[in-house]
Amino acid sequence: MKKLILSIMISIDGFIENPEKDISWHNWSAEMDDYMNLFFNSVDTILLGRKTYENMAAYWPKVSSEEQKIRNSMNNLPKIVLSSSITSSHWNNTRFIAKNAVNKIIKLKEKQGKNIVAFGGAGLSSFLADNNLIDEYRFIVNPVILGKGTAVFNNLQTIKPLKFKESLHFECGNVLFIYNTKQ
């Protein structure tokens, strides 16, 4: 059975973007490339919400300066987008789910293979958490305080107790915190 892993970059105060939707404060390094390369070896599907999909679909197919394995993973792995407003894509290996998303994600998790990574925005993160679909949370905390912006779980309806699994410190100042769901 596959795990659904939410992987998201956040500020120290829990925001995923500033009020202007800017993410230029994301802290990245060669060491982060190495981490993502290893992480991509453990997944075979990318799950996205509509807004994150639109940003990534505009970026990844055209980029040439990023680390090659990350670029290849983003462009070639199967991508599933939860959206009722978009139904087709120019981005390789992309399909859309508009209805019965919870049941379709459960069935996807029941298949054999590697894990599923959700690169979430606030809406997708809250939806997945509220429906108890996330098995592992990976927060990459950047050494910045935004003060305001979009909270990672801006619409969460229920409290989610988590169990600490591990952490990893990067020389660039980021800290990865990995939590499992408590069940």
pLDDT 10s digits, 49-75: 999 999 999 989 888 776 788 899 999
Q: Where are the domains of the chain?
A: 12-181
Assess contact for 132 and 26: CB atoms under 8 A: no
Taking CB atoms within 8 Å and a gap of at least 24, the contacts of 154-162 are 154/122, 154/123, 154/126, 155/122, 155/123, 155/126, 156/126, 156/129, 156/130, 157/126, 157/130, 158/129, 158/130, 160/129, 162/137
pTM of the model: 0.94
The residue written with tokens 């789910």 in the block is 97
Confidence category of residue 155, pLDDT binned at 50, 70, 90: confident
Rounded to whole angstroms, how far apart are CA atoms 3 and 94? 20
**CATH architecture for the domain at 12-181:** 3-Layer(aba) Sandwich (3.40)
What pLDDT is attached to residue 141?
98
In the predicted model, is pLDDT for residue 3 greater than 90? yes
Closest to 43 measured CA to CA, from 113, 134, 137: 113
Assess contact for 95 and 81: CB atoms under 8 A: yes
What pLDDT is attached to residue 66?
67
Mean pLDDT of the chain: 93
- Residue 5 sits at the vertex; the CA angle it makes with 108 and 120, to the nearest 5 degrees, is 95
171 by DSSP, 3-state: which?
coil
Rounded to whole angstroms, how far apart are CA atoms 31 and 48? 24
What pLDDT is attached to residue 78?
97
